[in-house]
Each structure stands twice: as structure tokens, then as C-alpha cells.
Structure 1
Amino acid sequence: MKTKITTLAIFLLTLVGCNQDKKSNAPVPSEIKVENNQIELQESENELTTIENTKWVITKLEGRDMTDREKNGQIIYFILDFENKSISGFSGCNNFIGAYKLDDGNRIIFSQMGSTRMACPDAKINEAQILNIFETADNFTIANNILSLNKGKRAPLAEFKKVKMDDNLVTEKYWKLKTLGGQAVTMADNQEREIFFTLKNNNNQVTGFAGCNTMSGEFVLEEGNRIRFVNMATTLKACPDVDVNESEFLKIFELTDNYTIKDDILSLNVGRRAPLAVFEAVYMD
């Protein structure tokens, strides 16, 4: 009798040990909060990181399919800049910028939203409805690279898909003008500095020098090496002794709709015609 009891006890202990091993190999449930607080925090941080420094392209607006925007080149998107806690994007006609704040529980708040005021009668999009997404949203959910911006527990205000952030070869470079309208450009002896421009990733700003005046504005990059310049402006300095046609140079930013780059040579183009202007990348020591 004693032998039977001993054998049964060994069997039970073995069974318990196996179950404990299985539990130790099982995935850790996300509901664990006290003993595994560090694990839960790590999962939360990973989830938050996935929505920042990523391009999000709209696919649905209040349940309505929006993928047709990609076909006509008016891609509506936004990017959250982790370093500056800023949002930038394109709403169908205008660029918009602002600030954001992430909190626990996938909460998100957008503030200080503003946009350019370019008129686009052919855009066929209610930009106010797009911007209202960010004014209204207070939380987000993400699954399978689809991001939903929500208000409370209602149906999503909008859904966005995650797209790859390509290495951008055109921004954050000093582009020196080489040819304008097919003609070589040389710097006049009394010219203050060479003609150039730079595209800054921060808030999509354009800065440069047109031969006499400094210039500024904004730009929009879209797939297929498409580019648009908006809100371009210059200082009003007069340089009667400088032999440069600033208006001809500034005109290229009104006309350009695409660009090409090869071996640090940038061409600004309209359609498939000959380049409006050609620039060379200059690297400062």
C-alpha cells in the first residue's frame, strides 16, 4: 500500500513540474501589470514608436474609401517627428503643420495646427474635413500597419496605411544653380553670392538666394519624384548693378512639377520637357 502511495506522489509531482515548464514557455499576457510592469512598459513604448517617424497615407475617411487619392497624385498623409514632437503633412491641396503629444493608453492630442492657404479648385477634396480629424482625435489604434485615429470609442475618424520612408536625396542639400533654361550660369563679379536653394525637412521649408534677394517658401514631395513649391517669396532689395534675371529664376519654382537626380546633379522639370534648371550639390566642410 505504501509503495502505491509513493508511486502516485511521484507521478503527481512530475505532472505539476511539466505544467510549470509549459507555463514558463507560454507567451506573457499583456494584462500582467505588477510582476511584469517593465515588460508592459516595453510593449507600450514599442507601439508608440511605430507611429512616429513614419509616413501615414490616408485610406479611409469616416468609413469612405480614399485610396483614389493616390491615383491622381494628391496623396493625403502625415508624419510625426519624434525629435521635435511636430506633425507635418499634406491635406490634398495645402501643407499643414502642428504639434502632438502622446500619453499612456494610446492617447494622442494634436495642437497648434495650421496650414498654407493655396487655392486648388481642381483638388476635389474638403480639406477642412481632413484637418478636423486632427482637431477631433484623442486616441489611436494600430494593427497590421493600419493606423486609426479615433474620438473616444466611436468608429474611426480616419484610417491610414504605413508606407516606407525612402531615403530622400533632394532635401538637406545645398543646390547651386548651373544652368537656367539650357544656358550656363556664371556668377557676376559684384554678385553677393551664388544662386542656390535648400529644402529643409523641418516644416518643409525652402530657403535660398536668387541673385540679389533671399527667398523662402514651402515644398511638397510626392511619390514618383513629384514636387511642388508654394508660398514662394523674396526680400525686396534692389540690385541695379548686378547682371541677373531674378524673375526668370523664380519662375522655375512656379512651373516645376517633378525632379530628377543623378550623381549629385538635380534637374527641376515640368512634365517631360527639357529641364527648367539644373543644379549641383555642394558639400560644405
Structure 2
Amino acid sequence: MKTKIITLSIIAVAFMSCNSGKKSETNDSLEVKEEVTQMETPTIKDEVATLENTKWVITKLEGKDMTDREKNGQIIHFVLDSETNSISGFSGCNTFMGTYKMEEGGRVSFSKLGSTRMACPDAKIDESLIINIFETADNFRITNNTLELNKAKMAPLAEFKKVVMDNEITETYWKLKTLDGKAVTMADNQEREIYFTLKNDGNRVTGFAGCNGLSGEYMLEDGNRIRFVNMATTLKACPDVDVNESAFLKIFELTDNYTVNNETLSLNVGKRAPLAVFEAVYFD
């Protein structure tokens, strides 16, 4: 009898151990599975972070290619500012602004947008089509640096590409030091030094060419690439000022890349010697 009890006890202990092992193994498998799922699925926060504080340039509108607008100087784009929940952008002639709201599941909504009222008879696009994208869209999707703004599950209203926002060279006063390898000195009767600044707002270029004010637009791309478009000056005549403004303006037409080193900016074409070199100037 004693032998039977011992035998039964051993069997019971073995059975319990076996069940415990299986349970542990099952739990471990579930934990691993859960871990893998969490690693493979991007979170809503990640998706939102990618959408916000990024410059998005239009590439397609209702399925039609829009990349030629960049060549024509119409760099149609927008940026969402996560701190103020505001949207700002450029629609081909005017800048626009408003607010937005993000929700789970890739949902986004925009307020009614306001814009400047500049007249652009030569503009090659109906700006209302751009504004309508944001007033219609209710969700978005990002794939490989391409953004789709959509209405429900219909075909995308528009597609945009992600563009580098380089704070290393924007919002800085760049004073001209050398032009075509020659040192630049300020003439005695020159109103102020030659300089330019890249503004984040609307990707605008502002500056002074030696006699006239300077304006235009720029676009930054990966690999320290930069393009200037719509560069123009005021039409003031300065016969007594010894400065070659056309030579300075030519660098913006030719430049396709830049380098920055120790508060010095070089504008270049290809891998040749710099077209022009600038130094950063800071004001109190």
C-alpha cells in the first residue's frame, strides 16, 4: 500500500511539472510573438512625427504629375508645425496658413485656410486646387518618404515628397567674402554689404546685391544640394557704386550644391572651386 501511494505521488508530481513546463513554454511563445508584432508595426506616434515638422513638396495632383512646377519656380509645398498645430505653405503664387488636427488611425483634418492676396497673372496653376486638397483631405499615408493626402478610401487627392529642412544654413545672414575666387570689399559709397538669407517661411531668399534688394526662392535636397529659382532684384540705378551685381546674381543661376565649414558657406556647381564664399554674421 505504501509503495502504491509513493508511486502515485511521483506520477502526480511529474504530471504537474509537465503541465507547468507546457504553460511556461506557451507563455514564452506568446511573449515572443507579442514582441515581434510590436517591433514590426509602426506606432501612430511614429507616423505623426514623420508627417509633422517636415517640408512636403507636391509631386502629383489627382494623379497628374506636378514635378514640372519646380522647374518653373512654383515649389508648391507645406509644413505642419507640431508646437502650434499650424500649417503653412506655398500654393504657386501665394502663401497659405491655418491649423490642423491629428487623430488615431492616420486621420487628419485642416481648418479653412487663409492666404495672401498677391496677383500672379503668369502663374501656371489654379491655386484653389491646392487649397482644396487640405479642405477635403481626412486621412494620410506615408510610404518611403512619399505622403498621400486622401479623402476616405478614394484615390489620393495629392502626393508629396519629403524634402530636407536644413537649419544649418537657413535663417542666417550670409555676408559675401569672395566671388569667383576674388576677395570682395565694400565700396565707400555702397549702401550696405552684399549678403543673402534663406528664410524658412515660404522658402524665400532675401538679400542685397550691392545696389538693389534681392529676392527669390530656394529648394534644399538630400546630399547638400540646393536650387534657386525666380531670383530678381529691385530696379534702382547706382551709377556711382562700383559693384557688378550681374556677376553676383549669376552664382544663384549656376549653383547646385553647397558646403558649410566653421561658419563659412560655399555655393558651388558640381565639384569645381566655389562660385562664391560667405561668412555668417550674427547680430545682438
**Is the TM value for this pair above 0.5?**
yes
Q: How far apart are 1:48 and its partner, in Å?
A: 0.9
Q: Say if 1:139 and 1:149, in contact at 8 Å, map to a contact too.
A: yes
Residue identity matched to 2:109: I
Residue identity matched to 2:241: V
Question: Which stretch shifts more, 223-232 or 127-136?
Answer: 223-232
Whole-Å Cα distance in 2 between the matches of residues 138 and 233 of structure 1? 43
Q: How far apart are 1:15 and its partner, in Å?
A: 1.2
Aligned equivalent of 2:240, options 238, 243, 262? 243
Gaps of 5+ in 1: 32-41, 270-274
1:134-170 deviations in whole A, cap 9, x for unaligned? 222122233454422122343321233445x264765
Q: How far apart are 1:222 and its partner, in Å?
A: 5.8
1:233-275 deviations in whole A, cap 9, x for unaligned? 69x9xx98x93389x7489769953425467465599xxxxx9
Counterparts of 1:220-235 in structure 2, within 5 Å, are 220-221=218-219, 225-229=226-230
Question: Which stretch shifts more, 194-203 or 2-11?
Answer: 2-11
Q: Say if 1:229 and 1:253, in contact at 8 Å, map to a contact too.
A: no
Whole-Å Cα distance in 2 between the matches of residues 183 and 244 of structure 1? 18
Query: Who is 1:23 aligned against?
Result: 30
Counterparts of 1:180-191 in structure 2, within 5 Å, are 186-191=185-190
Q: How far apart are 1:221 and its partner, in Å?
A: 1.7
1:2-21 deviations in whole A, cap 9, x for unaligned? 35444333322221121112
Query: Who is 2:100 aligned against?
Result: 101
What SS is found at the alignment partner of 2:30? helix
Query: Who is 2:4 aligned against?
Result: none
Query: Who is 2:202 aligned against?
Result: 203
Residue identity matched to 1:220: Y
Cα gap change, 1:257/1:99 in structure 2, threshold over 3 Å: closer, same or farther? farther
Q: Say if 1:147 and 1:161, in contact at 8 Å, map to a contact too.
A: yes
Query: Who is 1:114 aligned against?
Result: 115
Query: Who is 2:253 aligned against?
Result: 257
Query: Who is 1:38 aligned against?
Result: none
Q: Say if 2:175 and 2:281, in contact at 8 Å, map to a contact too.
A: no
Q: How far apart are 1:49 and its partner, in Å?
A: 0.5
Cα gap change, 1:268/1:130 in structure 2, threshold over 3 Å: closer, same or farther? farther
1:161-212 deviations in whole A, cap 9, x for unaligned? 445x264765333233467899986434354532322122233233334557
- Rg (Cα) greater in structure: 2
Whole-Å Cα distance in 1 between the matches of residues 132 and 21 of structure 2? 62
Identical columns (%):
40
Whole-Å Cα distance in 2 between the matches of residues 103 and 166 of structure 1? 22
Cα gap change, 1:57/1:193 in structure 2, threshold over 3 Å: closer, same or farther? closer
1:22-45 deviations in whole A, cap 9, x for unaligned? 2222226999xxxxxxxxxx9332
Please report the RMSD computed on the Cα atoms of aligned residues, expressed in angstroms. Answer: 4.7
Query: Who is 1:7 aligned against?
Result: 14
Q: How far apart are 1:227 and its partner, in Å?
A: 0.7
Whole-Å Cα distance in 2 between the matches of residues 55 and 212 of structure 1? 33
Residue identity matched to 2:46: N
Residue identity matched to 2:206: T
Residue identity matched to 1:139: N
Counterparts of 1:1-285 in structure 2, within 5 Å, are 2-3=8-9, 4-27=11-34, 43-62=43-62, 64=63, 66=65, 69=68, 76-83=76-83, 85-89=85-89, 91=91, 93-94=92-93, 96-105=95-104, 106-111=106-111, 112-114=113-115, 117-120=119-122, 123=124, 126-162=126-162, 165=164, 167=166, 170-177=169-176, 186-209=185-208, 215=213, 217-221=215-219, 225-229=226-230, 243-244=240-241, 249=245, 256-259=252-255, 261=258, 264=264, 266=266, 278=276, 280-284=278-282
Cα gap change, 1:56/1:119 in structure 2, threshold over 3 Å: closer, same or farther? same
Q: Say if 1:177 and 1:196, in contact at 8 Å, map to a contact too.
A: yes
1:23-81 deviations in whole A, cap 9, x for unaligned? 222226999xxxxxxxxxx933222101123343445433x252764996776543334
Gaps of 5+ in 2: 1-6
Cα gap change, 1:170/1:245 in structure 2, threshold over 3 Å: closer, same or farther? farther
Q: Say if 1:69 and 1:76, in contact at 8 Å, map to a contact too.
A: no
